[in-house]
Structure 1
Amino acid sequence: MISKLRAAGLTRRTFLKSTAITAVGASMPSITLAAGEPIKIGFLAPLTGAVAAWGKPGLDGCMIWAERVNAAGGIELEDGKHPVEFVSYDNEYDPAKARTGATKLIREDGVSFIMMLGGDTWPGVQPVADKTGMLFSTLLPSDLSPDSTTLLAPAEVHPIYLVTGVDYLADTFPDAKTVVICAQDDALGLPSVATYLAAFEARGIEVLEEPLLFDPATTDFAPIVTRMLSSNPDIICLDTCYSDYVHPICEQLFQQGYKGKMISATADFYDQMIAKTSKEFMEGFIFQFPDFDDPALSGDNINFEDANGFYEEYAKRHPGQWGAVSWEYASIMDLWKAAAEQAGSADPEAVMEAMKEGGTGKHAFGDAVWWGTELFGIDNALVGDWPVVVIEDGKAVIKGFKSIPDWYDQHGDLLIKHMQAYNQMYDQRG
């Protein structure tokens, strides 16, 4: 069979892709709404468990987004305006539960679009996407592949935005020349490790030992921190560790007397970390996700409507719960709403076509391009600028926006090299 495919100019991958497209065409969900009927959006993410910090705050943000949109009349399609309604399903960051949830949201709830965190749960959902043709989004572009044509990464460009934080660190603290990296051994940790390795190599920062990969079930981080500090690094990199790991690691770094620089993808609930350590210890902590009360988010380059007001309302309803994803799913919905109104339809295929028209899009942090073929095998990631955030005097502060495409144009070969070494390229996974 394979030899016949090759003789016809096809590979196994393109054969599978073509049959998947046929299946999608045969099973594409029909979205038919009565006048004024709510448009239902699926929210398929961890709402409980260790990864809930990257699910539940996003759903809370979506509820605020929906109230704003509905108060303004809803989403206007060809047949008139429709309110929007979110239907959530807690996948507990489990692939099997995610697959069950996706099936339910499509077949029973009649959603028009499904947002996910992604990562380890996407392989469970991918067969459902292939069969139904439903439009999905992920916060992890590392989920993308040419076999998943209806999966988009329109908000977060994990892990490639991490390079911007390393560039800031190298520019600001040129004497910091050595680093140790730790991460959980999973679908979020591994591509991040590869990205940080590429970014540190690009700036001549020496990685002192192999990245320390720990079991996601780890609860005692004292030995891990002791091992990291044994080589006396200038920088500790916490990769894309979950907040349930970042907090105890920082506490251990504080208790064991670390005085160097710290960099991480996130610093969710950093006020709690300050309370467990000190304001002085957390000073200068570099990460990638701003508080939306930052004045820099009121600039003309920002495409998230009334970011400061959104943050104020979120903080009022959910004090102390603002985190990396609190705004991201809502930002995806801004793009989805604009595309649905442009298409005049909530149909997944029509919305996706409108969203990607012209190859550009309005990312939260500025104009961006649909990109990714070299890294992901498909241009389904919306990539542009990303903020670098630093804790100063106990508060997250945006220090600037840096271009991800510009970095990749210079150092893309390094990123591909390290992604391949960790088996994270699209043609190596699964």
Structure 2
Amino acid sequence: MLSKIMKSGLTRRTFLQSTAAAAAASSMPRVALAADKVIKIGFLAPLTGPVAAWGKPGLDGCEIWAERVNAAGGIKLADGDYQVEFVGYDNEYDPAKARTGATKLIREDGVSFIMMLGGDTWPGVQPVADKTGMLFSTLLPSDLSPDTTTLIAPAEVHPIYNVTGVEWLAENKPELKTAVMCAQDDALGLPSVATYLAAFEAAGIEMLDDPLLFDPATTDFAPVVTKLISGNPDIVCLDTCYSDYVHPIAEQLFQQGFKGQIISCTADFYDQMIAKTSEEFMEGFIFQFPDFDDAALNSDQINFADPNGFYAEFNKRFPGQWGAVSWEYASIMDLWKAAAEKAGSAEPDAVAAAMKEGGTGKHAFGDAKWWGTELFGIDNALVGDWPVVAIEGGKATIKEFRSIPAWYDKHGDLLVKHMKAYDQMWDQRG
């Protein structure tokens, strides 16, 4: 688990240059406003350390979102217009610190909503959510269960969207017949392993070996890659490995002469991978998170305002730091804002009811439905289409939007089978 990394004292920030600036304090208000009426939103995520790539860029994106919303008049509720302010707390991906942070954000800062990465930190926060009734969001639906009634997953449907990449690959490169996979052995890696196994089985792609699970404290990936490609696979799957793993694994694949297909959940800071390997080596690398300057995001189905402008502003302020989560927390705030204005209130229960009314919602990539009972025991995940992204000519390119529900309707039994095999169903998780 990630606690091993923390105890070992490893920082592994090779690819997270901006996180050092976040270390100044554990509680970090990022958007401060002088206004009589202010709604505070909690941002409880790793802002430093090895998982900061899935926290800090999201807070940076929220700063841009808040400035846009406030400039347009703020949040319009029944008793007037409110400016929005984000209050950040660095949980360092530690459950105990996450619990402390949640308590502070609610009791001292008076927030109306708290966004989290989730994963290993959610069990530390759940007792606070249960006691206070605060509405929380996670980027990991695998945190959901029938007991998590105030937890929602309205943006990212990790790891289920990973099936779309495998499905696209099987249809567009049918000559690829075999695969291997590696992942860190933790709450982010294991449900993703089960998902990829289901997707490969559904696509008729043979796994040459069991998934190679490595300790999160691993720093030398040469032997991992040597073992991984020993059977000469057509496809190497990097599961939901953190950036600090994806980068050295890709470099080792390059150095050890792998010529096949690579597929991964994320490819954060892929320009750095290209620099350490080659543009030719990274050509066709499949993952799930687009750059927001992609023309495909200007279609009518997209529910994220001015994605190209958002991307340009983010890169202007935070050069080299665009990644998987840069837009996701802001997208959650789009849904929260619409629900609060619909309810006329920022109270957690009112917002939650308005957000889920009718069983559908405006996901960033199109209309989606609240779903999840089959896998999570509760319909608190917003599920619809998700993009398949490939690196072409050194640039991330959306190849297609694919329906997650359509895949599940055909192959849901396989996903349940593999989730059970890895003890990842809601009723198996402790």
Under a length normalisation based on structure 1, what TM-score does the superposition of the two structures give?
A: 0.92
Aligned to 2:102: 102
After the TM superposition, which residues 184-333 of structure 1 pair with which residues of structure 2 at under 5 Å, given as runs? 184-333=184-333
Q: How big is each residue's C-alpha offset from its partner over 1:175-231, in whole Å with a ceiling of 9 and x where there is no partner?
A: 111000000000000000000000000011011111000011111000000000111
Aligned to 2:15: none
Contact 1:386-1:402 within 8 A present in 2 as well: yes
**C-alpha RMSD of the superposition:** 0.6
> Are 1:45 and 2:45 counterparts?
yes
- The one-letter amino acid of 1:361's match is G
- What's the CA shift for 1:279? 0.2
> Are 1:340 and 2:336 counterparts?
no
Q: How big is each residue's C-alpha offset from its partner over 1:372-428, in whole Å with a ceiling of 9 and x where there is no partner?
A: 000000000000000000000000000010000000000000000000000000000
How many angstroms apart in 2 are the aligned matches of 1:421 and 1:357?
A: 34
Aligned to 1:173: 173
How many angstroms apart in 1 are the aligned matches of 2:355 and 2:298?
A: 24
Q: How big is each residue's C-alpha offset from its partner over 1:75-105, in whole Å with a ceiling of 9 and x where there is no partner?
A: 0001110000000000000000000000000
Aligned to 2:426: 426
How many angstroms apart in 1 are the aligned matches of 2:62 and 2:195?
A: 29
How many angstroms apart in 1 are the aligned matches of 2:264 and 2:382?
A: 22
Aligned to 2:12: none
After the TM superposition, which residues 64-103 of structure 1 pair with which residues of structure 2 at under 5 Å, given as runs? 64-103=64-103
Contact 1:36-1:80 within 8 A present in 2 as well: no
Unmatched tracts of structure 1, length 5 or more: 1-34
- What's the CA shift for 1:172? 1.1
Structure having the higher Rg: 1
- The one-letter amino acid of 1:158's match is H
Unmatched tracts of structure 2, length 5 or more: 1-34
How many angstroms apart in 1 are the aligned matches of 2:91 and 2:259?
A: 39
Contact 1:239-1:265 within 8 A present in 2 as well: yes
Aligned to 1:25: none
Aligned to 1:396: 396
Aligned to 1:359: 359
- What's the CA shift for 1:36? 3.8
What's the secondary structure of 1:61's corresponding residue? helix
Contact 1:180-1:207 within 8 A present in 2 as well: yes
- The one-letter amino acid of 1:134's match is M
Aligned to 1:10: none
- The one-letter amino acid of 1:269's match is F
How many angstroms apart in 1 are the aligned matches of 2:157 and 2:144?
A: 11
After the TM superposition, which residues 101-140 of structure 1 pair with which residues of structure 2 at under 5 Å, given as runs? 101-140=101-140
Q: How big is each residue's C-alpha offset from its partner over 1:247-279, in whole Å with a ceiling of 9 and x where there is no partner?
A: 000000000000000000000000000000000
- What's the CA shift for 1:131? 0.6
How many angstroms apart in 1 are the aligned matches of 2:54 and 2:101?
A: 17
Aligned CA distance change for structure 1 residues 36 and 357 (closer, same or farther; 3 Å): farther
> Are 1:378 and 2:378 counterparts?
yes
Q: How big is each residue's C-alpha offset from its partner over 1:5-60, in whole Å with a ceiling of 9 and x where there is no partner?
A: xxxxxxxxxxxxxxxxxxxxxxxxxxxxxx94210000000000000000000000
What's the secondary structure of 1:174's corresponding residue? coil
- The one-letter amino acid of 2:253's match is L
What's the secondary structure of 2:266's corresponding residue? coil
Under a length normalisation based on structure 2, what TM-score does the superposition of the two structures give?
A: 0.92
> Are 1:158 and 2:149 counterparts?
no
Contact 1:99-1:125 within 8 A present in 2 as well: yes
Aligned to 2:16: none
How many angstroms apart in 2 are the aligned matches of 1:380 and 1:155?
A: 11
- The one-letter amino acid of 1:110's match is G
- The one-letter amino acid of 1:295's match is A
How many angstroms apart in 1 are the aligned matches of 2:413 and 2:370?
A: 20
How many angstroms apart in 1 are the aligned matches of 2:313 and 2:251?
A: 30
How many angstroms apart in 1 are the aligned matches of 2:168 and 2:286?
A: 9
What's the secondary structure of 2:53's corresponding residue? helix
- The one-letter amino acid of 1:272's match is Q
What's the secondary structure of 1:322's corresponding residue? coil
How many angstroms apart in 2 are the aligned matches of 1:37 and 1:207?
A: 57
How many angstroms apart in 2 are the aligned matches of 1:283 and 1:36?
A: 52
How many angstroms apart in 2 are the aligned matches of 1:372 and 1:84?
A: 30
Q: How big is each residue's C-alpha offset from its partner over 1:107-127, in whole Å with a ceiling of 9 and x where there is no partner?
A: 110000000000000010011
What's the secondary structure of 2:367's corresponding residue? strand
- The one-letter amino acid of 1:93's match is Y
How many angstroms apart in 1 are the aligned matches of 2:131 and 2:213?
A: 35
How many angstroms apart in 2 are the aligned matches of 1:41 and 1:214?
A: 36
What's the secondary structure of 1:83's corresponding residue? strand
What's the secondary structure of 1:289's corresponding residue? coil
